[in-house]
Amino acid sequence: MNSQSPSPRISTLLFDLGGVIMDLKRDNALAALRRLGMSDPDSIIGLYVQAGPFLQLEQGDITPAQFRDALRPSFSRPVSDAEIDAAFNSFLVGIPPRRLEALRELRRHFRVCLLSNTNRLMWDSEIARAFTAEGLTIDDYFDGIVTSFEARCVKPGADIFRYAVSHLGIHPATTLFLDDSADNVAAARALGFNAEVVPPGTEFTLITDALLPS
């Protein structure tokens, strides 16, 4: 599909979470960690792919408790679990109501699924809360969900896309994948997905509105 308009054959929309549905601000988390006494938070917090213990957490290789313990030597003072959790959750800004409304509308016409690099610490707290704004839960917005910590692999690796195909029962040729990372979109296209980048500061509806019946 690349530069062409989305195909009318699309039956499934596969969304990234952060940067597409949920707003992120990496600088919030960097500043919060520095206030706790971490000298180089940039070394573990990326925008699209993480490193060190944070990557291990997102791949499901360690638990939140093990993650916190792995980080503690990086701080210049003792820090509590709550302080660590709050610092990392400050990465997440929230979900504008218009995007929740758009997801509900899209589910009237397509199968809507989620494919996210994320972790149990954020998933069970701020992410879960963000989807309750309309009195619903995250499962009310998606027909299927794949998270990196459950799949034990991350984007842009091919394994997580193959896992999504198997776990969600989707077909790449009839699926449109939306992500804010060009690397993730390129990886999806290489596996036969239709895929489009949602540039920072834009709305996914600029792409999905063209798919809706007039």
Q: Which of 198, 125, 197, 115 is nearest to 153 (CA)?
A: 115
Taking all residues of the chain, what is their mean pLDDT, rounded to a whole number? 93
Report the distance separating Cα 89 and Cα 91, nearest Å. 5
CATH assignment of the domain containing 158: 3.40.50.1000
Q: Please say if the pLDDT value at position 211 is more than 60.
A: yes
Task: Indicate whether 52 and 32 sit together in one domain.
Answer: yes
Domain region containing 30 = 26-89
Give domain status of residue 101, yes or no: yes
- What's the rounded mean pLDDT across residues 138-153? 98
pLDDT computed for residue 6 by the predictor: 46
Q: Specify whether 75 is located in the same domain as 136.
A: no
Q: Is the pLDDT of residue 193 over 80?
A: yes
Helices 81-89 and 26-35 pack at an angle, to 10 degrees, of 150
The tokens for 18 are: 């952060």
